[in-house]
């Protein structure tokens, strides 16, 4: 929620300013498997992104002699860049998430809690956004 709610606020701000495209939300009741599939997609994203960025890139860049903040900021920048197709809010939100997750990984050295956190953030986004569109059609 700490990362997701500001991300939604950035999306709305980007829409108001005309710098973010409108996202199309699929109805959650389109098929019985829509919500479980979205949850599996969230798990896939959380698992692959955190294992690659934290588990692999942190180790590789550290072996090349990079300092921790250079690694954290670089991986956060990469994370933001590959979410750029989602618009301004996603760029800023994913950069912030990358910094927070990078700091947590540096501090505790564990990937799995961050995989779980990422998965939960994505579940809220994947399921929460279509609900928000339904509840607040003029805003989203």
Are 132 and 23 within 8 A, CB to CB?
A: no
Which tokens in the block code for residue 14?
């980007």
Number of H helices, E strands in the chain: 6, 0
Distance CA 67, CA 69 (A): 6
Which tokens in the block code for residue 7?
């991300």
Q: Which helix (H) or strand (E) holds 98?
A: helix 88-108
Task: Give percent of the chain with pLDDT exceeding 70.
Answer: 88
Which tokens in the block code for residue 123?
């579940």
Quick check: 26 pLDDT over 80?
Answer: no
Which tokens in the block code for residue 79?
């994370």
Q: Could you report the per-residue pLDDT of 42-85, keeping only the tens digit for each?
A: 999 999 999 999 999 999 999 999 999 999 999 999 999 999 88
């Amino acid at each position: 929620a700490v990362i997701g709610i500001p991300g939604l606020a950035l999306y709305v701000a980007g829409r108001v300013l005309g710098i973010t495209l409108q996202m199309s939300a699929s109805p959650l009741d389109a098929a019985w498997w829509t919500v479980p599939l979205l949850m599996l997609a969230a798990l896939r994203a959380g698992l692959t992104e955190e294992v690659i960025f934290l588990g692999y890139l942190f180790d590789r860049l550290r072996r090349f002699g990079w300092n921790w903040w250079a690694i954290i900021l670089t991986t956060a920048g990469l994370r933001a860049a590959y979410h750029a197709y989602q618009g301004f809010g996603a760029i800023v939100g994913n950069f912030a998430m990358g910094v927070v997750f990078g700091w947590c990984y540096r501090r505790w050295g564990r990937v799995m809690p961050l995989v779980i956190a990422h998965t939960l953030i994505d579940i809220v986004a994947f399921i929460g956004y279509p609900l928000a569109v339904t509840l607040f059609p003029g805003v989203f």
